[in-house]
Amino acid sequence: MHRPADSLPRGIRERRLFLIKLSYAFLYLSAPSHQVLNQLDCVAQALEIEVEIVHVPTLIMITLSDGKISPNQTRFVRANGRISLTALSQVHNVVREVSHDNLSCTTGTEMLTAIVAAKPIYNTYLRCFFAFLCSSIICGTAFGGSPIDLGVGGLCSAVLTLASLRGKDSVLDSVYEITMAMLVSFTARGVSSIRGSLFCYSAISSAGVVSILPGFMILTSALELFSKHMLCGSARLVYALIYSFILSFSLMIGSDIWFLMDAQARHMYDHVNPPIVEYAHIGLTSLNGTWANQTIFGAIAVTNTTVAPINIVKGCYREPDWPWWRQPLPWWAMTFLVPTYLVFSSLNSMHNLRRCKELFVMVLFACISYAVNTLANRYVKRVTFSTTAGALTIALLGNGYSRLFRGSAFTSMVTGVTFLVPSGIANAGGLSQTYVDDVAQYQTGFVLAIHMLQVAIGVTLGLSLGQFIVYTFGSKKKSAHFAF
């Protein structure tokens, strides 16, 4: 005879409640989705709970079973939040202590509740400042922006971040990012239309919307598919690809709106960036000879040999005799800009500045990964190979650090992994491109999605290979492996 759920032994109720609260914390803090099932299964095994877990985006279904003691219970846990590195690290520590019987389930549940209910460690305006600095730096380091492009790209990203954090209307949540992308593109085209080509449209628009790129989602979906989590991985991947198409078309619409308002701007763009090759379909009719009165159809390509490709740097037109403040950043600027970006990117992901040791490890691993990625792209011009090399490097460092020093592999790796996304997109040809006809318009939309998919595949291969190398030898971990 089954007992009611409330009459279960206290220990079983506490363990079940801890598992449910842990599921909510994973969803709310954006834990790596391909590891959520493994985490929960390991915790349930350590706590000796019989469960069946199904994970779909933003939802976890938990079926609790305890043989003949009580009937099966199905709990639906739903949450959607933003990544918080410090909170995820705290959750990982709680899980490890409970799994090793150093903490009771009741204490662990109370700690998880406090972690989830805690206020963000940085306020809205400070996070906008972080977004401004990150986008300004990424504008110059990844998208070929000049010193005067940095401020405009960072300002666009800060406004977009402010609108995201301040937005409370659930009706507009689904369209605000697309609308903001149009406004960013409109602004970038407007400032780039100033006579003299002072600003670069491609660099400003790319840096302005880089914070809303679904690169992290495509990465996690690829990791889920690689882990054979077909349901969750395929759903995320399809959504992210469709979102990429819509985002790319939004950038085009914003640019076109400005061109409609300012026809001179379009003429200026065609003058500065004439198409290198133009195709025309023609028909030639012979008036005499053997082929008299017969028409031959074909295509002719006209090449513009006056265009100097060396003056185009990552989609930005740069004359060699322009002053330094209109040129791309020199290579030596990366030595201090990249670490600065990584620091503020970690803070923007809600890492506590007081945890200096973890921050140093995150930045160090990310810098090494970026150096390997850059060198690989220099000698082998393949995006998948360069991102695989960078991801393999950070996977070896992060998982090795977790195994040797008992640190959190995920928090030590996440900054470097997310930095591979804009770097890989830039190596693949950039984010924002201007089209000259209807065919190129649709090609541009697909190119953005393909670029991010290439980067995600490369990162997935590198992370999986690095994890395999580190954990092939040695003893097995009792607690769940918290990493990419």
Same domain, residue pair 361 and 450 = yes
The answer to whether residue 63 is domain-embedded is yes
For residue 322, being part of any structural domain is answered with no
pTM comes to: 0.83
Structural domain for 73, as ranges: 5-117
Going by C-alpha positions, the residue among 465, 392, 462, 456 that lies closest to residue 425 is 456
Q: Please check whether residues 178 and 229 belong to one and the same domain.
A: yes
Please list, residue by residue across 446-470, b when 16 or more beta carbons sit within 10 angstroms of its beta carbon and e when fewer do. Answer: ebbbbbbbbbbbbbbbbbbebbeeb
Task: Report which secondary-structure segment, H or E, holds 55.
Answer: strand 50-56
Binned at pLDDT 50, 70 and 90, residue 459 comes out as confident
Q: Based on the domain organization, do 83 and 162 belong to the same domain?
A: no
Query: Could you say which of 117, 135, 170 is where a domain stops?
Result: 117
Judge whether residue 228 has pLDDT over 90.
no
- Within this chain, do residues 171 and 52 fall inside the same structural domain, yes or no? no
Question: Do 449 and 421 share a domain, yes or no?
Answer: yes
Instruction: Tell me whether residue 336 is exposed, middle or buried, using C-beta atoms within 10 angstroms of its C-beta: 0 to 12, 13 to 18, 19 or more.
Output: exposed
- Same-domain check for residues 73 and 91: yes
Q: Of 117, 146, 163, which closes a domain?
A: 117
Strands (E), 314-379: 316-317
Higher model confidence: residue 309 or residue 473?
A: 473
Structural domain count, the chain: 2
- Whether the CB-CB separation of 398 and 366 falls below 8 Å is answered with no
Same domain, 104 and 147: no
pLDDT at 467 (0 to 100): 85
Q: With CA atoms as reference, report the closest residue to 258 among 308, 204, 312.
A: 204
DSSP 193: T
What is the rounded CA–CA span in Å between residue 346 and residue 359? 7
**What token pair was written down for 344?**
């503020």
Interatomic CA distance for residues 392 and 374, integer angstroms:
14
CA distances (Å), 483 to each of 55, 77, 220, 342, in order? Answer: 18, 22, 12, 19
Is the pLDDT assigned to residue 442 strictly greater than 60? no
In angstroms, the first-to-last Cα distance of the chain is 44
CA pair distance 347, 86, nearest whole angstrom: 10
User: Which residues, in sequence order, are CB contacts of 82 under 8 Å at separation 6+?
Assistant: 30, 350
> Does 362 reside within a domain?
yes
Q: Taking 50 as the threshold, does the pLDDT of residue 144 lie above it?
A: yes
Question: Which of 248-257, 404-413, 438-447 has the highest average model confidence (pLDDT)?
Answer: 248-257
Portion of the chain with pLDDT greater than 70, in percent? 78
Whether 171 has a pLDDT exceeding 50, the answer reads: yes
Q: How far apart are CA 187 and CA 189, in angstroms?
A: 5
> What is the C-alpha separation between 404 and 418, in angstroms, rounded?
24
Q: Say which residue, 241 or 373, is predicted with more confidence.
A: 373
Q: Is the domain of 165 the same as that of 240?
A: yes
Residues 104 and 187 in one domain: no
